[in-house]
A and B are shown apart, each in its own frame.
Chain A
Amino acid sequence: MTALAIQQLDKSFGGLRVARGIDLVVEAGERRLIIGPNGAGKTTLFSLITGEIAPDGGSVALFDDDITRMPARRRAHLGLARTYQIITLFPKDTLLHNLLLSLLGLSRLRWNPCARLAKQDALQQEARQRLAEIGLGHIADRPLAQTSYGERRRVEIAMALAQKPRVLLLDEPFAGLSLEERREVRALLATVPRDVTIVMIEHDMDVALDFADRITVMHLGEIVVEGARAEVVADPRTREIYLGE
Protein backbone atom coordinates (compact mmCIF):
# COMPACT_ATOMS: atom_id res chain seq x y z
CA MET A 1 0.00 0.00 0.00
CA THR A 2 1.20 3.49 -0.78
CA ALA A 3 1.59 5.72 2.26
CA LEU A 4 2.48 8.90 0.46
CA ALA A 5 1.95 9.66 -3.22
CA ILE A 6 3.08 13.00 -4.61
CA GLN A 7 2.45 13.92 -8.21
CA GLN A 8 3.83 16.84 -10.20
CA LEU A 9 4.15 19.07 -7.13
CA ASP A 10 5.09 22.64 -8.00
CA LYS A 11 5.85 25.66 -5.83
CA SER A 12 7.39 29.04 -6.55
CA PHE A 13 8.19 31.98 -4.31
CA GLY A 14 8.03 34.86 -6.76
CA GLY A 15 10.52 34.01 -9.49
CA LEU A 16 12.19 31.28 -7.46
CA ARG A 17 10.93 27.77 -8.21
CA VAL A 18 11.48 25.70 -5.08
CA ALA A 19 9.60 22.58 -6.20
CA ARG A 20 9.60 21.53 -9.85
CA GLY A 21 7.19 18.76 -10.79
CA ILE A 22 8.08 16.51 -7.88
CA ASP A 23 6.89 12.90 -8.14
CA LEU A 24 7.43 10.78 -5.06
CA VAL A 25 5.90 7.50 -3.92
CA VAL A 26 6.63 6.10 -0.46
CA GLU A 27 5.27 2.68 0.42
CA ALA A 28 3.70 1.92 3.80
CA GLY A 29 6.28 0.99 6.41
CA GLU A 30 9.15 2.24 4.26
CA ARG A 31 12.13 4.19 5.61
CA ARG A 32 12.88 6.83 3.01
CA LEU A 33 15.86 9.15 3.17
CA ILE A 34 15.83 12.46 1.31
CA ILE A 35 19.22 14.03 0.73
CA GLY A 36 20.51 16.97 -1.24
CA PRO A 37 22.62 20.07 -0.78
CA ASN A 38 21.35 23.20 1.01
CA GLY A 39 18.61 24.91 -0.98
CA ALA A 40 17.59 21.68 -2.72
CA GLY A 41 13.99 22.13 -1.48
CA LYS A 42 13.86 19.25 1.01
CA THR A 43 12.28 21.17 3.90
CA THR A 44 9.95 22.95 1.47
CA LEU A 45 8.82 19.52 0.26
CA PHE A 46 7.99 18.59 3.89
CA SER A 47 6.04 21.82 4.32
CA LEU A 48 4.13 21.10 1.11
CA ILE A 49 3.30 17.60 2.35
CA THR A 50 2.11 18.82 5.78
CA GLY A 51 0.12 21.71 4.29
CA GLU A 52 2.10 24.51 5.90
CA ILE A 53 2.77 25.77 2.38
CA ALA A 54 0.13 25.48 -0.34
CA PRO A 55 1.41 24.13 -3.65
CA ASP A 56 0.93 25.96 -6.96
CA GLY A 57 0.17 22.69 -8.69
CA GLY A 58 0.20 18.93 -8.32
CA SER A 59 -1.27 16.67 -5.67
CA VAL A 60 -0.46 14.98 -2.36
CA ALA A 61 -2.20 11.76 -1.28
CA LEU A 62 -1.93 10.11 2.13
CA PHE A 63 -2.96 6.45 2.03
CA ASP A 64 -4.94 7.17 -1.15
CA ASP A 65 -6.78 10.17 0.35
CA ASP A 66 -6.14 13.35 -1.61
CA ILE A 67 -5.02 15.87 1.00
CA THR A 68 -3.72 18.57 -1.36
CA ARG A 69 -6.24 21.21 -0.27
CA MET A 70 -6.72 19.95 3.28
CA PRO A 71 -5.72 22.30 6.16
CA ALA A 72 -2.52 21.31 7.96
CA ARG A 73 -4.29 20.62 11.28
CA ARG A 74 -6.59 18.05 9.66
CA ARG A 75 -3.65 16.25 8.12
CA ALA A 76 -2.33 15.74 11.64
CA HIS A 77 -5.60 14.01 12.53
CA LEU A 78 -5.16 11.71 9.51
CA GLY A 79 -1.84 10.50 10.88
CA LEU A 80 0.75 12.90 9.47
CA ALA A 81 3.30 14.11 11.99
CA ARG A 82 6.57 15.98 11.61
CA THR A 83 9.61 17.33 13.39
CA TYR A 84 11.39 20.54 12.44
CA GLN A 85 14.95 21.26 11.42
CA ILE A 86 15.05 23.95 14.11
CA ILE A 87 13.44 22.44 17.21
CA THR A 88 10.00 24.01 17.60
CA LEU A 89 8.70 23.25 21.09
CA PHE A 90 7.46 25.08 24.18
CA PRO A 91 10.65 25.99 26.08
CA LYS A 92 8.97 27.68 29.08
CA ASP A 93 6.82 24.62 29.76
CA THR A 94 7.89 21.34 31.30
CA LEU A 95 8.69 18.25 29.27
CA LEU A 96 5.47 16.75 30.59
CA HIS A 97 3.42 19.72 29.39
CA ASN A 98 5.01 19.47 25.93
CA LEU A 99 3.97 15.83 25.72
CA LEU A 100 0.51 16.67 27.08
CA LEU A 101 0.00 19.19 24.29
CA SER A 102 0.82 16.62 21.64
CA LEU A 103 -1.67 14.18 23.19
CA LEU A 104 -4.24 16.95 23.59
CA GLY A 105 -3.99 17.84 19.89
CA LEU A 106 -5.83 14.68 18.90
CA SER A 107 -8.26 14.71 21.84
CA ARG A 108 -11.64 16.41 21.94
CA LEU A 109 -10.63 17.58 25.38
CA ARG A 110 -8.62 20.37 23.76
CA TRP A 111 -11.83 22.39 23.40
CA ASN A 112 -12.94 21.94 27.01
CA PRO A 113 -12.61 25.18 29.03
CA CYS A 114 -13.73 23.50 32.27
CA ALA A 115 -11.70 20.26 32.36
CA ARG A 116 -8.60 20.86 34.50
CA LEU A 117 -5.58 19.62 32.59
CA ALA A 118 -3.76 18.66 35.79
CA LYS A 119 -6.67 16.35 36.70
CA GLN A 120 -6.70 14.42 33.41
CA ASP A 121 -5.11 11.29 34.86
CA ALA A 122 -5.18 9.23 31.66
CA LEU A 123 -3.44 11.95 29.65
CA GLN A 124 -0.93 12.67 32.40
CA GLN A 125 -0.10 8.99 32.74
CA GLU A 126 0.35 8.50 29.01
CA ALA A 127 2.55 11.60 28.76
CA ARG A 128 4.77 10.35 31.61
CA GLN A 129 4.94 6.92 30.04
CA ARG A 130 6.01 8.41 26.69
CA LEU A 131 8.75 10.35 28.46
CA ALA A 132 9.85 7.24 30.33
CA GLU A 133 10.08 5.38 27.02
CA ILE A 134 12.63 7.88 25.72
CA GLY A 135 14.53 7.80 29.01
CA LEU A 136 13.45 11.24 30.20
CA GLY A 137 10.84 10.22 32.76
CA HIS A 138 13.04 11.39 35.63
CA ILE A 139 13.05 15.00 34.35
CA ALA A 140 9.40 15.14 33.28
CA ASP A 141 8.68 18.14 35.48
CA ARG A 142 11.73 20.13 34.39
CA PRO A 143 11.21 23.13 32.06
CA LEU A 144 12.28 22.26 28.53
CA ALA A 145 14.60 25.29 28.49
CA GLN A 146 16.71 23.58 31.17
CA THR A 147 17.42 20.47 29.09
CA SER A 148 20.17 19.68 26.60
CA TYR A 149 19.74 19.98 22.85
CA GLY A 150 19.74 16.21 22.46
CA GLU A 151 17.05 15.79 25.12
CA ARG A 152 14.91 18.37 23.34
CA ARG A 153 15.33 16.52 20.07
CA ARG A 154 14.16 13.32 21.75
CA VAL A 155 11.18 15.15 23.24
CA GLU A 156 10.28 16.47 19.80
CA ILE A 157 10.38 12.99 18.30
CA ALA A 158 8.39 11.61 21.25
CA MET A 159 5.79 14.33 20.68
CA ALA A 160 5.49 13.37 17.03
CA LEU A 161 5.18 9.70 17.99
CA ALA A 162 2.55 10.55 20.61
CA GLN A 163 0.39 11.78 17.73
CA LYS A 164 0.15 8.11 16.68
CA PRO A 165 1.36 8.88 13.17
CA ARG A 166 1.00 6.69 10.12
CA VAL A 167 3.57 8.80 8.30
CA LEU A 168 6.34 10.52 10.23
CA LEU A 169 8.43 13.25 8.60
CA LEU A 170 11.77 13.87 10.33
CA ASP A 171 13.66 16.98 9.29
CA GLU A 172 17.35 16.54 10.13
CA PRO A 173 16.80 14.74 13.46
CA PHE A 174 20.55 14.32 14.02
CA ALA A 175 21.58 17.89 13.26
CA GLY A 176 23.59 19.56 16.01
CA LEU A 177 23.77 16.43 18.19
CA SER A 178 26.87 15.03 19.85
CA LEU A 179 27.96 11.47 19.07
CA GLU A 180 26.34 10.18 22.25
CA GLU A 181 23.11 12.06 21.53
CA ARG A 182 23.10 10.70 17.97
CA ARG A 183 23.28 7.19 19.33
CA GLU A 184 20.33 7.92 21.62
CA VAL A 185 18.18 9.36 18.84
CA ARG A 186 19.17 6.50 16.55
CA ALA A 187 18.15 3.98 19.19
CA LEU A 188 14.86 5.82 19.65
CA LEU A 189 14.10 5.74 15.91
CA ALA A 190 14.94 2.03 15.82
CA THR A 191 12.07 1.41 18.25
CA VAL A 192 9.48 2.95 15.92
CA PRO A 193 7.30 0.09 14.66
CA ARG A 194 7.20 -0.72 10.97
CA ASP A 195 3.57 0.31 10.63
CA VAL A 196 4.82 3.88 10.87
CA THR A 197 6.25 5.07 7.56
CA ILE A 198 9.24 7.37 8.03
CA VAL A 199 10.54 9.96 5.60
CA MET A 200 13.74 11.58 6.83
CA ILE A 201 15.88 14.47 5.66
CA GLU A 202 19.43 14.07 6.91
CA HIS A 203 22.94 15.17 6.07
CA ASP A 204 24.73 12.71 8.36
CA MET A 205 25.25 9.89 5.87
CA ASP A 206 26.84 7.50 8.37
CA VAL A 207 23.63 7.38 10.35
CA ALA A 208 21.10 7.97 7.59
CA LEU A 209 22.27 5.47 4.98
CA ASP A 210 21.98 2.60 7.44
CA PHE A 211 18.49 3.68 8.35
CA ALA A 212 17.00 4.03 4.85
CA ASP A 213 15.34 1.44 2.62
CA ARG A 214 15.38 3.82 -0.32
CA ILE A 215 17.03 7.17 -0.97
CA THR A 216 15.86 10.20 -2.91
CA VAL A 217 18.33 12.87 -4.01
CA MET A 218 16.99 16.38 -4.56
CA HIS A 219 18.67 19.31 -6.23
CA LEU A 220 17.25 22.77 -7.05
CA GLY A 221 13.67 21.73 -6.30
CA GLU A 222 13.80 18.55 -8.38
CA ILE A 223 14.19 14.87 -7.69
CA VAL A 224 17.37 13.87 -9.49
CA VAL A 225 18.07 10.32 -8.37
CA GLU A 226 15.99 7.73 -6.56
CA GLY A 227 16.68 4.14 -5.65
CA ALA A 228 18.25 1.72 -3.20
CA ARG A 229 21.37 2.79 -1.29
CA ALA A 230 23.90 1.18 -3.63
CA GLU A 231 22.19 2.54 -6.75
CA VAL A 232 22.09 6.08 -5.45
CA VAL A 233 25.67 6.03 -4.17
CA ALA A 234 26.90 4.65 -7.51
CA ASP A 235 24.92 7.11 -9.61
CA PRO A 236 27.23 9.74 -11.18
CA ARG A 237 24.57 12.45 -10.71
CA THR A 238 24.77 12.03 -6.95
CA ARG A 239 28.53 12.61 -7.04
CA GLU A 240 28.08 15.53 -9.39
CA ILE A 241 25.62 17.23 -7.02
CA TYR A 242 27.79 16.71 -3.95
CA LEU A 243 31.28 16.97 -5.41
CA GLY A 244 30.80 19.00 -8.62
CA GLU A 245 31.81 17.87 -12.07
Chain B
Amino acid sequence: MKRVGWAVALIVLAAVPLWVGGSFYVNIVSQILIAAIFALGLDILVGYAGLISLGHAGLFGIAAYTVAILLEHGFGHSVAIIAALGMTLATTMLFAVLALRTTGIGFIMITLALGQLLWGLGYRWIDLTHGDNGVSGTSRPMPFNISLDSADHFYYATLLIFVAVLIGMAILTGSAFGASLRGTRDQPRRMTALGFDVWTIRFIACVMSGLCSAVAGILFFYYNEFISPHALALSASAEVLLMVIAGGSGTLLGPVAGAALVVIMKSVMSAYIERWNFTLGAIFVLIVLFMPEGLVPGSRRLVRFLLAAAKTGRGAAPARSGG
Protein backbone atom coordinates (compact mmCIF):
# COMPACT_ATOMS: atom_id res chain seq x y z
CA MET B 1 0.00 0.00 0.00
CA LYS B 2 2.83 2.31 0.97
CA ARG B 3 4.67 1.55 -2.26
CA VAL B 4 1.53 2.30 -4.27
CA GLY B 5 1.32 5.68 -2.52
CA TRP B 6 4.91 6.47 -3.37
CA ALA B 7 4.39 5.40 -7.00
CA VAL B 8 1.28 7.61 -7.32
CA ALA B 9 3.17 10.56 -5.78
CA LEU B 10 6.00 10.04 -8.25
CA ILE B 11 3.62 9.90 -11.20
CA VAL B 12 1.86 13.07 -10.03
CA LEU B 13 5.22 14.83 -9.63
CA ALA B 14 6.45 13.60 -13.01
CA ALA B 15 3.29 14.96 -14.62
CA VAL B 16 3.55 18.40 -12.99
CA PRO B 17 4.49 20.24 -16.22
CA LEU B 18 1.40 18.68 -17.85
CA TRP B 19 -1.20 19.63 -15.26
CA VAL B 20 -0.04 22.82 -13.52
CA GLY B 21 -0.01 24.83 -16.74
CA GLY B 22 2.57 27.54 -17.37
CA SER B 23 6.23 27.77 -16.48
CA PHE B 24 5.52 29.97 -13.43
CA TYR B 25 3.96 27.12 -11.47
CA VAL B 26 6.48 24.57 -12.77
CA ASN B 27 9.18 26.86 -11.40
CA ILE B 28 7.36 27.07 -8.07
CA VAL B 29 7.44 23.27 -7.80
CA SER B 30 11.14 23.33 -8.72
CA GLN B 31 11.69 25.78 -5.87
CA ILE B 32 9.76 23.51 -3.52
CA LEU B 33 11.93 20.54 -4.50
CA ILE B 34 15.16 22.51 -4.00
CA ALA B 35 13.94 23.72 -0.59
CA ALA B 36 12.86 20.14 0.23
CA ILE B 37 16.35 18.78 -0.52
CA PHE B 38 17.80 21.46 1.75
CA ALA B 39 15.25 20.69 4.49
CA LEU B 40 15.80 16.92 4.18
CA GLY B 41 19.51 17.56 4.70
CA LEU B 42 18.86 19.62 7.81
CA ASP B 43 16.43 16.97 9.04
CA ILE B 44 19.31 14.47 9.27
CA LEU B 45 20.68 16.69 12.02
CA VAL B 46 17.49 18.03 13.62
CA GLY B 47 15.22 15.00 13.35
CA TYR B 48 17.59 12.07 13.49
CA ALA B 49 20.64 13.34 15.39
CA GLY B 50 18.81 15.79 17.68
CA LEU B 51 21.20 18.62 16.79
CA ILE B 52 19.62 21.95 15.83
CA SER B 53 21.69 23.99 13.42
CA LEU B 54 21.17 27.67 12.72
CA GLY B 55 24.06 27.91 10.28
CA HIS B 56 22.97 25.67 7.45
CA ALA B 57 22.34 28.54 5.04
CA GLY B 58 26.09 29.13 5.23
CA LEU B 59 26.79 25.65 3.85
CA PHE B 60 24.07 26.08 1.22
CA GLY B 61 25.64 29.41 0.26
CA ILE B 62 29.22 28.08 0.13
CA ALA B 63 28.14 25.57 -2.55
CA ALA B 64 26.21 28.19 -4.52
CA TYR B 65 29.04 30.75 -4.33
CA THR B 66 31.69 28.17 -5.30
CA VAL B 67 29.81 27.26 -8.47
CA ALA B 68 29.08 30.91 -9.26
CA ILE B 69 32.65 32.13 -8.75
CA LEU B 70 34.26 29.25 -10.64
CA LEU B 71 31.89 29.72 -13.58
CA GLU B 72 32.65 33.43 -13.53
CA HIS B 73 36.36 32.60 -13.75
CA GLY B 74 35.81 30.44 -16.82
CA PHE B 75 35.70 26.95 -15.32
CA GLY B 76 33.30 24.35 -16.69
CA HIS B 77 30.13 23.18 -14.98
CA SER B 78 31.54 19.76 -14.00
CA VAL B 79 34.58 21.28 -12.31
CA ALA B 80 32.42 23.92 -10.61
CA ILE B 81 29.92 21.36 -9.29
CA ILE B 82 32.59 18.94 -8.02
CA ALA B 83 34.52 21.81 -6.43
CA ALA B 84 31.32 23.10 -4.80
CA LEU B 85 30.59 19.69 -3.30
CA GLY B 86 34.20 19.35 -2.12
CA MET B 87 34.33 22.87 -0.70
CA THR B 88 31.05 22.42 1.18
CA LEU B 89 32.14 19.05 2.55
CA ALA B 90 35.42 20.53 3.80
CA THR B 91 33.58 23.47 5.40
CA THR B 92 31.01 21.12 6.94
CA MET B 93 33.76 18.98 8.44
CA LEU B 94 35.43 22.04 9.93
CA PHE B 95 32.11 23.32 11.27
CA ALA B 96 31.30 19.90 12.70
CA VAL B 97 34.62 19.62 14.51
CA LEU B 98 34.02 23.02 16.08
CA ALA B 99 30.30 22.67 16.82
CA LEU B 100 30.32 19.07 18.07
CA ARG B 101 32.37 20.09 21.07
CA THR B 102 28.95 20.66 22.57
CA THR B 103 25.26 19.85 22.07
CA GLY B 104 21.95 21.60 22.81
CA ILE B 105 21.99 25.37 23.03
CA GLY B 106 25.79 25.44 22.65
CA PHE B 107 25.57 23.64 19.31
CA ILE B 108 22.89 26.07 18.12
CA MET B 109 24.97 29.10 19.07
CA ILE B 110 28.19 27.80 17.46
CA THR B 111 26.41 26.94 14.20
CA LEU B 112 24.72 30.36 14.29
CA ALA B 113 28.11 32.06 14.72
CA LEU B 114 29.73 30.01 11.93
CA GLY B 115 26.80 30.68 9.59
CA GLN B 116 27.05 34.39 10.30
CA LEU B 117 30.78 34.24 9.61
CA LEU B 118 30.10 32.88 6.12
CA TRP B 119 27.36 35.44 5.58
CA GLY B 120 29.87 38.15 6.59
CA LEU B 121 32.40 36.77 4.09
CA GLY B 122 29.79 36.80 1.33
CA TYR B 123 28.84 40.34 2.21
CA ARG B 124 32.29 41.84 2.81
CA TRP B 125 34.74 39.92 0.60
CA ILE B 126 33.71 42.13 -2.27
CA ASP B 127 36.63 41.26 -4.62
CA LEU B 128 35.45 37.68 -4.71
CA THR B 129 31.71 37.82 -4.05
CA HIS B 130 30.81 41.32 -5.30
CA GLY B 131 29.20 41.93 -1.93
CA ASP B 132 25.54 42.80 -1.94
CA ASN B 133 25.46 42.79 -5.77
CA GLY B 134 25.99 39.02 -5.75
CA VAL B 135 27.38 36.80 -8.50
CA SER B 136 25.43 36.05 -11.65
CA GLY B 137 25.60 32.97 -13.83
CA THR B 138 25.31 32.93 -17.56
CA SER B 139 24.35 29.37 -18.34
CA ARG B 140 23.03 26.11 -16.95
CA PRO B 141 24.77 22.76 -17.44
CA MET B 142 23.73 20.45 -20.30
CA PRO B 143 23.77 16.86 -18.96
CA PHE B 144 23.71 14.33 -21.82
CA ASN B 145 23.37 17.29 -24.20
CA ILE B 146 19.97 18.16 -22.75
CA SER B 147 19.58 21.87 -22.17
CA LEU B 148 18.22 22.79 -18.76
CA ASP B 149 17.25 26.29 -19.85
CA SER B 150 13.53 25.56 -20.09
CA ALA B 151 11.44 25.43 -16.89
CA ASP B 152 10.28 21.88 -17.67
CA HIS B 153 13.76 20.46 -18.27
CA PHE B 154 15.16 22.11 -15.17
CA TYR B 155 12.21 20.79 -13.19
CA TYR B 156 12.83 17.21 -14.34
CA ALA B 157 16.53 17.45 -13.47
CA THR B 158 15.60 18.77 -10.02
CA LEU B 159 12.96 16.08 -9.59
CA LEU B 160 15.50 13.38 -10.45
CA ILE B 161 17.93 14.69 -7.84
CA PHE B 162 15.11 15.11 -5.29
CA VAL B 163 13.99 11.50 -5.76
CA ALA B 164 17.60 10.31 -5.40
CA VAL B 165 17.98 12.28 -2.16
CA LEU B 166 14.64 10.99 -0.86
CA ILE B 167 15.56 7.37 -1.64
CA GLY B 168 18.95 7.93 -0.02
CA MET B 169 17.25 9.30 3.08
CA ALA B 170 14.82 6.37 3.20
CA ILE B 171 17.72 3.90 3.02
CA LEU B 172 19.72 5.83 5.62
CA THR B 173 16.92 6.13 8.16
CA GLY B 174 16.00 2.45 7.92
CA SER B 175 19.61 1.32 8.12
CA ALA B 176 21.75 0.10 11.00
CA PHE B 177 23.57 3.44 10.93
CA GLY B 178 20.21 5.24 11.04
CA ALA B 179 19.33 3.29 14.20
CA SER B 180 22.70 4.23 15.68
CA LEU B 181 22.05 7.87 14.82
CA ARG B 182 18.59 7.91 16.44
CA GLY B 183 20.07 6.20 19.47
CA THR B 184 22.60 9.01 19.92
CA ARG B 185 19.70 11.48 19.73
CA ASP B 186 17.65 9.69 22.42
CA GLN B 187 20.26 8.37 24.88
CA PRO B 188 23.84 9.38 24.08
CA ARG B 189 25.04 8.18 27.49
CA ARG B 190 23.55 4.73 27.04
CA MET B 191 24.84 4.55 23.45
CA THR B 192 28.38 5.19 24.69
CA ALA B 193 27.97 2.46 27.30
CA LEU B 194 26.82 0.13 24.50
CA GLY B 195 30.04 0.77 22.58
CA PHE B 196 28.87 3.36 20.05
CA ASP B 197 31.17 6.23 19.11
CA VAL B 198 28.64 9.03 19.58
CA TRP B 199 30.91 11.84 18.38
CA THR B 200 31.83 10.11 15.12
CA ILE B 201 28.21 9.15 14.43
CA ARG B 202 27.20 12.79 14.86
CA PHE B 203 30.13 13.91 12.71
CA ILE B 204 29.03 11.62 9.87
CA ALA B 205 25.47 12.97 10.23
CA CYS B 206 26.83 16.52 9.89
CA VAL B 207 28.73 15.54 6.74
CA MET B 208 25.66 13.90 5.17
CA SER B 209 23.57 16.93 6.07
CA GLY B 210 26.18 19.27 4.59
CA LEU B 211 26.22 17.24 1.38
CA CYS B 212 22.44 17.67 0.94
CA SER B 213 22.80 21.39 1.64
CA ALA B 214 25.48 21.57 -1.04
CA VAL B 215 23.25 19.83 -3.59
CA ALA B 216 20.41 22.23 -2.76
CA GLY B 217 22.77 25.23 -2.93
CA ILE B 218 24.05 24.22 -6.38
CA LEU B 219 20.49 23.73 -7.68
CA PHE B 220 19.46 27.05 -6.13
CA PHE B 221 22.24 28.86 -7.98
CA TYR B 222 21.40 27.21 -11.30
CA TYR B 223 17.71 27.89 -10.79
CA ASN B 224 18.21 31.62 -10.13
CA GLU B 225 21.50 31.94 -12.04
CA PHE B 226 22.37 34.31 -9.24
CA ILE B 227 23.59 34.17 -5.66
CA SER B 228 23.85 36.99 -3.11
CA PRO B 229 24.60 37.11 0.64
CA HIS B 230 20.86 37.08 1.38
CA ALA B 231 20.84 33.34 0.71
CA LEU B 232 23.35 32.88 3.57
CA ALA B 233 21.59 35.11 6.09
CA LEU B 234 20.34 33.96 9.47
CA SER B 235 16.76 34.33 8.20
CA ALA B 236 17.50 31.70 5.53
CA SER B 237 18.84 29.27 8.18
CA ALA B 238 15.80 29.94 10.36
CA GLU B 239 13.48 29.46 7.38
CA VAL B 240 14.79 25.98 6.55
CA LEU B 241 14.67 25.05 10.23
CA LEU B 242 11.02 26.13 10.30
CA MET B 243 10.35 23.95 7.24
CA VAL B 244 11.66 20.93 9.13
CA ILE B 245 9.85 21.71 12.39
CA ALA B 246 6.56 22.70 10.74
CA GLY B 247 6.50 19.65 8.49
CA GLY B 248 7.64 17.21 11.16
CA SER B 249 11.24 16.51 12.07
CA GLY B 250 12.50 12.94 12.00
CA THR B 251 10.18 12.01 9.14
CA LEU B 252 10.78 11.67 5.43
CA LEU B 253 7.79 13.65 4.24
CA GLY B 254 7.76 16.29 6.96
CA PRO B 255 10.54 18.46 5.55
CA VAL B 256 8.99 18.16 2.07
CA ALA B 257 5.61 19.36 3.40
CA GLY B 258 7.32 22.16 5.34
CA ALA B 259 9.23 23.23 2.23
CA ALA B 260 6.02 23.26 0.18
CA LEU B 261 4.25 25.37 2.81
CA VAL B 262 6.99 27.99 3.04
CA VAL B 263 7.66 28.25 -0.70
CA ILE B 264 3.95 28.49 -1.56
CA MET B 265 3.46 31.19 1.07
CA LYS B 266 6.51 33.10 -0.13
CA SER B 267 6.06 32.76 -3.86
CA VAL B 268 2.33 32.32 -4.44
CA MET B 269 0.39 33.70 -1.50
CA SER B 270 2.60 36.80 -1.31
CA ALA B 271 0.96 37.89 -4.58
CA TYR B 272 -2.47 37.88 -2.91
CA ILE B 273 -1.70 38.63 0.72
CA GLU B 274 0.38 41.69 1.44
CA ARG B 275 1.33 40.57 4.93
CA TRP B 276 2.24 37.00 3.94
CA ASN B 277 4.96 36.91 6.60
CA PHE B 278 2.31 37.47 9.24
CA THR B 279 0.13 34.74 7.73
CA LEU B 280 3.06 32.32 7.64
CA GLY B 281 3.81 33.14 11.28
CA ALA B 282 0.16 32.55 12.21
CA ILE B 283 0.22 29.19 10.40
CA PHE B 284 3.34 28.17 12.37
CA VAL B 285 1.66 29.17 15.63
CA LEU B 286 -1.38 27.04 14.71
CA ILE B 287 0.86 24.10 13.83
CA VAL B 288 2.68 24.40 17.16
CA LEU B 289 -0.64 24.62 19.02
CA PHE B 290 -2.55 21.83 17.31
CA MET B 291 0.13 19.63 15.74
CA PRO B 292 3.27 20.17 17.81
CA GLU B 293 4.91 17.15 16.23
CA GLY B 294 4.54 18.78 12.77
CA LEU B 295 2.13 18.67 9.84
CA VAL B 296 2.88 15.15 8.60
CA PRO B 297 2.91 13.26 11.92
CA GLY B 298 0.03 15.47 13.14
CA SER B 299 -2.06 14.67 10.08
CA ARG B 300 -1.35 10.96 10.52
CA ARG B 301 -2.50 11.23 14.16
CA LEU B 302 -5.65 13.06 13.06
CA VAL B 303 -6.47 10.43 10.42
CA ARG B 304 -5.93 7.62 12.96
CA PHE B 305 -8.18 9.44 15.42
CA LEU B 306 -10.94 9.96 12.83
CA LEU B 307 -10.73 6.34 11.67
CA ALA B 308 -10.92 5.12 15.26
CA ALA B 309 -13.87 7.46 15.94
CA ALA B 310 -15.67 6.21 12.83
CA LYS B 311 -15.01 2.61 13.83
CA THR B 312 -16.32 3.24 17.35
CA GLY B 313 -19.39 4.96 15.93
CA ARG B 314 -20.12 2.01 13.66
CA GLY B 315 -19.57 -0.43 16.52
CA ALA B 316 -21.77 1.55 18.89
CA ALA B 317 -24.75 2.02 16.53
CA PRO B 318 -25.96 -1.63 16.41
CA ALA B 319 -25.53 -1.90 20.16
CA ARG B 320 -27.84 1.05 20.63
CA SER B 321 -30.42 -0.28 18.20
CA GLY B 322 -30.18 -3.72 19.77
CA GLY B 323 -30.83 -2.23 23.21
Contacts and interface: CB of A to CB of B under 8 A. Distances in A.
Contact of A117 (B179, B191, B192, B194): B179
A81 interface: yes
B174 interface: yes
Interface centre among A93, A105, A159 (most CB of B within 10 A): A105
A114 B175 contact: yes
Interface of B: 171-172, 174-180, 183, 186-187, 189-198
Contacts of A104: 176, 179-180, 194, 196
Contacts of A107: 176
Contact of B194 (A84, A114, A118, A159): A159
Nearest to A78: B195
Contacts, number: 88
A118 B174 contact: yes
Contact of B195 (A73, A84, A90): A73
Contacts of B198: 73
Tell me whether chain B's interface is mostly helix, strand or loop, or mixed: helix
Given A93-B186, A101-B179, A112-B177, 7 more contacts: A73-B197, A76-B192, A90-B183, A104-B176, A104-B196, A113-B175, A115-B177
A224 to B, nearest CB: 28
B187 A88 contact: yes
B187 A120 contact: no
Choose among B172, B176, B187 the residue with the greatest number of A CB atoms under 10 Å from its CB.
B176
30 contacts: A52-B189, A52-B192, A73-B192, A76-B192, A76-B193, A82-B193, A88-B187, A89-B187, A90-B190, A92-B186, A97-B179, A101-B179, A104-B194, A104-B196, A105-B194, A105-B195, A106-B194, A107-B176, A112-B177, A113-B171, A113-B172, A113-B175, A113-B176, A115-B175, A116-B176, A117-B176, A117-B179, A118-B174, A159-B194, A163-B194
Interface string A62-79: 000000000011101100
Interface of A: 50, 52, 72-74, 76-77, 81-82, 84, 88-90, 92-93, 97, 100-102, 104-107, 109-118, 120, 159, 163
Contacts of A120: 176
Contacts of A89: 187, 190
Contacts of A92: 186
Contacts of B197: 73
A101 B183 contact: yes
A118 B197 CA distance: 22
A117 B175 contact: yes
A110 B180 contact: yes
A101 B177 CA distance: 10
A100 B179 contact: yes
A81 B174 contact: no
A72 B177 contact: no
Contacts of A109: 176
A113 B180 CA distance: 10
B190 A88 contact: yes
Given A90-B183, A90-B187, A76 B194 contact: yes
Nearest to A81: B193
Contacts of B191: 101, 105
A116 B186 contact: no
Contacts of B195: 73-74, 76-77, 105-106, 163
A167 to B, nearest CB: 13
A78 to B, nearest CB: 9
Contacts of B180: 101, 104, 110-111
A199 to B, nearest CB: 15
Contacts of B172: 113
